[in-house]
Structure 1
Amino acid sequence: MLIAGASIAGPALAYWLDRYGWATTVVERAPEFRTGGQNIDVRGAAREVLRRAGIEDAVRAATTGELGTRFLSEHGKLIAEFPVQRSDTAGATAEVEILRGDLARILVDATAGRTEYRYGDEVTARRHRIGGRRDVREWAAGPLRPGRRGGRPAVIYPATRP
């Protein structure tokens, strides 16, 4: 399966597809893995996804250590405080907060050795031939040819399943 984008969604999709038997390749326009980015509050259903994926502990170990938010007067007097909420859904500040790049690294690491990541590359075309022939997907480095699990990445065509 060819996936465009190696931020959060691409590696997350690669993780779940790999888990269910699909061979995956992720292409990313950026020349290398991108670190940094904004904070991500992990709440509600997202916490359940982390649990089911088996990466909750890794995400918790990489949290920002957010303690909450405080508003102070110009003299340093506390005006308002929003402490971290231990709830999966409530509160202005989440207990599980992680930087975008850290979450992306956890997802990429979780697929290491099974998903091919191609940085500095991008999908340039998708062609469908009429008459029952298979799709051809191309990227800047050239056409991706169908492969087998455990070796080359697979291109999955509409009628093909793992």
Structure 2
Amino acid sequence: MTSTTTLAAALPAEHRERLMRLAREVSFAAGVRLFEEGRRADRFWIVRTGTVALDLHVPGRRAAVIESLGHGELLGWSWHFPPHVWQLGGETTSPVRAWEFDAEAVRALCVRDPEFGHAIAVWVGRAVAHRLHAARIRLLDLYAPYGSGCA
């Protein structure tokens, strides 16, 4: 978990409150596939409890787990950028409780309130940057001759 991808650290209180007005509580059992790479991204979550593994399709191999997300972290960023298609897959690795958000409603609020929209864009952008870094390290660990070199 990183401080830049958790809700509490990423958004000022007033923006958190506005976002949370759009939340609905959901629960998932372990082993539930929440989204698939290449499919329509119409929602996102903030994990309350449990963990979700993000994975990347690798042709001819099993999907590579890129990162595990837990308490307070943003799960899903593809909803924010056209064409709104998942760039990774996600599966619960334990029972998960989360807040779920309708992507269209959040995007509409971002348009109506540019300051809120900017805060959301920075938060999502930080999550994208973090996930890209995690994917790079993980893929180097899996497929480079000498791994990532990180220890």
Q: TM-score range by the shorter chain?
A: under 0.3
Between structure 1 and structure 2, the one with the greater Rg is: 1
TM-score, normalising length from structure 2?
0.22
TM-score, normalising length from structure 1?
0.21
More helix by share: 2
